[in-house]
Amino acid sequence: MTAPDDDADSRAVYEPLAESIRRLIDVGIRTEADATVVANVRAKIEAAIDELSVSLMPGSFGVQTAPDGAPRAWGNVLIGLRNPVAPPLTIRHDPDGTVHTEFTLGAAYEGPPGHVHGGVCALILDHVLGATAHLPGKPAVTGTLTLRYLRGTPLGRPLRASAHVDRIEGAKTFAVGHIAGPDGVTVTAEGVFIHPKGGQRDG
């Protein structure tokens, strides 16, 4: 049986798989099952790995093209619907030029107890600020990213990351943004994003 080619069919097949693995990661971190249960589960997981490994694409997912010509970044670490490491984020572009995403992070993203790892916050802000600089057919890459951590970012609570363009100077877009939780802003960021010559594509 071959993999589905249609975009909707592909999504219907692979998105639930990623979600199941995402749940497995969370449960695997938090389980207190005994050694016998863990051994049985490991055997099932290894069997599943063997089945899924029968047909693998070479290398990473990269950015593929859907049948309608739209780009598929389904392996992306933050927005990839096929990547169980991704929360995944849904990036929204507001009419006023603001870019935002709303999400909740669980056990897989923990740094300090009960809080999101600072590097994960940086990863999210890099992506959200970068999204303000992307143009159709003209992606931007990160030049610099400066963050200020104001307080811990809580796990298991609703979070919102947002960003907007501060100014544009030639090929450079200067963006600012932050992550906020129920108690206010937790991290702020300033970034410089560059449109490389030749339209180099990133994930």
pLDDT digits (tens, 9 = 90+) for 131-160: 999 876 678 899 999 999 999 999 999 999
Positions of the chain with pLDDT lower than 50, given as ranges: 1, 200-203
User: pTM of the full predicted structure?
Assistant: 0.89
pLDDT digits over 107-125, tens only?
999 999 999 999 999 999 9
Nearest Cα to 117, choosing from 150, 90, 155?
A: 155
Tokens of 137: 């057919």
For position 201, what pLDDT does the model report?
46
**Residue with structure tokens 């990269």?**
62
* β pairing state of 99-103 and 141-149: unpaired
Helix residue ranges, H only, the chain: 7-30, 35-52, 118-133
Q: Which residues of 139-167 are buried (b: 16+ CB within 10 A; e: fewer)?
A: bbeeeebebeeeebbbbeeebebbbebee
Cα–Cα dist 154/168, whole Å = 33
Q: Round to whole Å and give the CA distance between 28 and 11.
A: 25
